[in-house]
Structure 1
Amino acid sequence: MNVLGVGRSSFRTAVAALRNTQTSRALATTARPYVPPASLEHVAPPRPRRSRIKTKPESSAFFTGRAGYYDSIDSLESAIHHSQRALKNLHLLPLPAFAKEALPPLQTVWKTKEDMSELLSAKLTTSRYRRVTGLLGQLNDHRRVADVGGYAELSSGLSSVLETFERDNKDAVLARGIRKPVKFDEYGRSYTVGKRKESAARVWIIPVKQRAAPAPTETQAASPDFGTVDPISIDSDPTAAVSMTEVLVNGMPLAKCFPLPADRERIIRPFRLTGLLGAYNVFAIVRGGGTTGQSGAVAHGIAKGLAAHVPDIELILKRSKLIRRDPRMVERKKTGLAKARKRYAWVKR
């Protein structure tokens, strides 16, 4: 009898018995414990799960993250399509180039990019903002055509759409570039304000009234004497206006207030360009700045006053850039430089 074989078989039997014991213990510990039914009388039964009903989004662009932006684009494009089709049916489109240029302008001021983003509930980039304003411009062109064609109903419908995207202070923004009209007093004097650099001038312009020559008497008409001329006495008629042109600045004559010829020429330039030299008297009060700024401010005020007295010369003064204030200012000094642009001399040692 083989002793080694008997030992191996007994070892295998012992290992198998040990494995069965571990398996039975594991199953015994992981099995569901027994709970008596009497202990579950006061326990509420579990609620059944309710199936959630998913509703369909109102907007087709809901999952894009910019539903307000894309919905507005769709609505504007549909409005352009319908208005264009209506104008074509009314034989108002397409218009030739000369007819488009003749249309009266309808100035609009759209909301800023930030306000438009708040309106559409989506952050707008520059390209998206330009796309929205481009579509609004097309609608505005259709409104202009409808206004000229006399179709008030179509024009009012487009206006209601465009007013949503316009600024609240539209009138105030459009009035910024409009110059206020110059007012005249009971004596025909105009009052204007001119500015240049740090100087500001108040200018009064009075037209020169030429006094009519006295009518000749019968004796003078019978025997005219061309060798002698009777002087016109101002004291004889106190209501007569002086026919001599005078420019007073701060109560002083022009030559005394501005010794430099360039400053005097700058003040007289509006009169020379318009051919009105000697037609008006000028009284100015100027404050601030130097002689260059003060002379430019007086010239600016004179140009505005002359344009008010003679509207035909306004185009000449505009082309000469005299009505608009000169925006140039003195450039500030830079650190490390002698002046604004002048540098110190560099010497190699």
Structure 2
Amino acid sequence: MADQVNSLEELGQVADSIETVDAPQITTIQREVVKDALGRSYATGKRKDAVARVWIKPGSGKVIVNGRDQTIYFARPVLRMILLQPFEVSGVAGQFDVMATVKGGGLSGQAGAVKHGISKALQLFDPSLRAALKAAGFITRDSRVVERKKYGKAKARKSFQFSKR
């Protein structure tokens, strides 16, 4: 091999003779604001078997879920806390009205679906909020679902009681 470098001095000479290539410029993606004719942003949120359709618009912080107030629909305080997390993380608590319709799953899954929908809609309404929502993990869909039941089993993994005799 004739192209071998035997000392640090030769390496320095080789490095000086090589032309430097400019690194490609990294461009930031400019996300655009997505609103309908009424000034609302829409997004779909999902969690377990629940699917939420969420509309947000500037307002006083009122949250309506399936035609009922959030305090009536989500009676447990923990579920309401989950629902309002995106507003607190992004620093816009009390500035948006939310109208959501939810189907499927239980109350916990529905609260998670509305939270996911609110996060996505906030990001569409104001793209500058995306960094805070993404850092908190609210834009990512939580893909955990119930494992299916297998044949020959009592549940997904539980076996029937074993009898030796």
Q: Same fold (TM over 0.5)?
A: yes
1:281 and 1:197 mapped to 2: Cα distance?
25
- Residue equivalent to 1:206: 57
Aligned to 2:91: 275
Structure 2 residue corresponding to 1:191, chosen from 24, 34, 42: 42
Which runs of structure 2 are paired with 1:141-160 in the superposition (5 Å)? Answer: none
> For the structure 1 residues 333 and 191, does the alpha-carbon distance in structure 2 shift closer, same or farther, using more than 3 Å as the test?
same
Change (3 A) 1:344 1:309: same
Instruction: Give percent identity, aligned residues only.
Output: 43
Q: Secondary structure at the match of 2:100?
A: strand
Matched letter for residue 202 of structure 1: R
- Give the one of 116, 120, 127 matched to 1:300: 116
Cα distance, 1:197–1:273 mapped onto 2, change above 3 Å: same
| Alignment correspondent of 1:265 | 81
C-alpha separation between the residues in 1 aligned to 2:142 and 2:95?
A: 26
Larger radius of gyration: 1
**CA–CA distance in 1 between the matches of 2:115 and 2:71?**
15
Structure 2 distance, partners of 1:339, 1:182, is: 46
CA apart distance, 1:301: 1.1
Shift of 1:261: 3.1
Question: Which amino acid letter does the alignment assign opposite residue 332 of structure 1?
Answer: R
Identify which of structures 1 and 2 has the higher relative contact order when contacts are C-alpha pairs closer than 8 Å and 6+ apart.
2
Q: Alpha-carbon deviations, 1:251-291, whole Å to 9, x = none?
A: 00112212333322221111121221111110111122222
Gaps of 5+ in 2: 1-16
Which amino acid in the other structure matches residue 112 of structure 2? G
Find the counterpart in structure 2 of residue 253 from structure 1: 69
**For structure 1, which runs of at least 5 residues remain unmatched after alignment?**
1-90, 106-179, 209-243
Aligned counterparts of 1:254 and 1:344: Cα–Cα separation in 2: 42
TM-score w.r.t. the length of structure 1 is 0.37
Q: Decide whether aligned partners of structure 1 residues 181 and 251 sit closer, same or farther in structure 2, where only a CA change above 3 A counts.
A: farther
In the TM superposition, residue 250 of structure 1 has moved relative to its aligned partner by 0.4
Q: List aligned pairs for 1:42-57, cutoff 5 A.
A: none
SS in 2 for 1:323: coil
Task: Kindly indicate whether residue 156 of structure 2 is the aligned counterpart of residue 340 of structure 1.
Answer: yes
Shift of 1:207: 0.7
Change (3 A) 1:339 1:253: same
Report matched runs for 1:47-126 at 5 Å.
Answer: 93-95=19-21, 99-100=22-23, 102-104=24-26
Equivalents in 2 of 1:324, 1:296: separation in Å? 11
CA distance in 2, matches of 1:92, 1:206: 57
- Which structure is higher in helix share? 1
Which residue of 1 is the match for residue 10 of structure 2?
none
Would you say how many aligned residue pairs link Structure 1 and Structure 2?
Answer: 146
Counterpart for residue 320 of structure 1? 136
After superposition, the Cα gap between the structure-2 partners of 1:189 and 1:332, relative to the gap in structure 1 and judged at 3 Å, is same
Q: TM-score, normalised by structure 2?
A: 0.73
| C-alpha distance 335-267 of structure 1, shift in aligned 2 (>3 A) | same
Shift of 1:292: 2.3
Post-superposition shift, 1:183?
Answer: 2.6
Q: CA RMSD in A?
A: 2.8
* Displacement after TM superposition at 1:344 (Å): 5.3
Answer yes or no: is the 8 Å Cα contact 2:34–2:125 preserved in 1: no
The structure with more strand, counted as a fraction of residues: 2
